[in-house]
Amino acid sequence: MTRPIVELNGVTRSYGSPPTVALNGVDLRIDEGEMVAIVGPSGSGKSTMLNIIGSLDRASSGSAAIAGHDIAGLSDAALSALRAHTIGFVFQQFHLADGVSALDNVATGLLYTGTPPRERRRLAAIALERVGLGDRLLHDPRQLSGGERQRVAIARAVVGEPRLLLADEPTGSLDTRSGAGVMEILGELNRSGTTVVVITHDQSLAERMPRRVRIRDGEIVADERGVAA
């Protein structure tokens, strides 16, 4: 029986006064092992949803549970621990440190897990092998192509073997070929058991995903399953 890793019930998120509503009464369940696209135009609320699913933000009302933990009831320290051990993040702009090897960039993904430095580097090497960069361990990010840098970012996100991987526009800065390679890696991670959620405005990318949650004006307007023909 599948278990939910993401449960949003009546989630609303608003900012400012008078309030601007970014999410409006959202209900969403994502089960362990799913691969899902959250797709919508700029300003639709998908980034706010990413922040709540990633426990980077809290709902104004409603409830959000990630891996069985009610976000509203967790302290900041407990939220940090949840992110360190359960959630991996991949961003459009890579966020790699120049002047630091790919190996050490990836090892930072374990910085807050209590893993000793030598073990962090050993696991980082395994993660880079996993994304096809075993021959780039000591390369500076400035020596890598965009596609390779995104693969380093993916390796950093999965080095701790998180149950949930959140990818925010992971192909947005890449050419078509590199983007396809990144999506293939995300698919392989999903097939190995990682729940993968891709946030995107790219309709063609979303159509290739097994489930598509469409969001507009802070509300889910469609929840589709099956790869489009």
The pLDDT value given to residue 112? 83
The pLDDT value given to residue 229? 47
Taking 80 as the threshold, does the pLDDT of residue 1 lie above it?
A: no
Work out the average pLDDT over 135-139.
95
Taking 60 as the threshold, does the pLDDT of residue 169 lie above it?
A: yes
The pLDDT value given to residue 168? 93
The pLDDT value given to residue 91? 87
Work out the average pLDDT over 99-126.
94
Q: Kindly report the number of other CB atoms within 10 A of residue 214's CB atom.
A: 18
Quote the mean pLDDT of the chain: 93
Confidence at 119, pLDDT banded by 50, 70, 90: very high
Work out the average pLDDT over 123-136.
94
Tokens describing residue 6: 């993401």
Confidence at 2, pLDDT banded by 50, 70, 90: confident
Single pTM value for the model: 0.92
From residue 202, alpha-carbon distances to 72, 146, 178, 187, 212 in Å are 31, 18, 15, 17, 12
- SS3 of residue 36 by DSSP: strand
Contact, 166 vs 130, CB < 8 A? no
Distance CA 166, CA 126 (A): 20
pLDDT digits (tens, 9 = 90+) for 179-200: 889 999 999 999 999 999 999 9
Contact, 3 vs 31, CB < 8 A? yes
Taking 80 as the threshold, does the pLDDT of residue 153 lie above it?
A: yes
Confidence at 175, pLDDT banded by 50, 70, 90: confident
Q: For the chain, which domains are there? A: 33-55+76-225 (3.40.50.300)
Contact, 186 vs 198, CB < 8 A? yes
Confidence at 228, pLDDT banded by 50, 70, 90: low
The pLDDT value given to residue 63? 96
Element holding 224 (H helix, E strand): strand 219-225
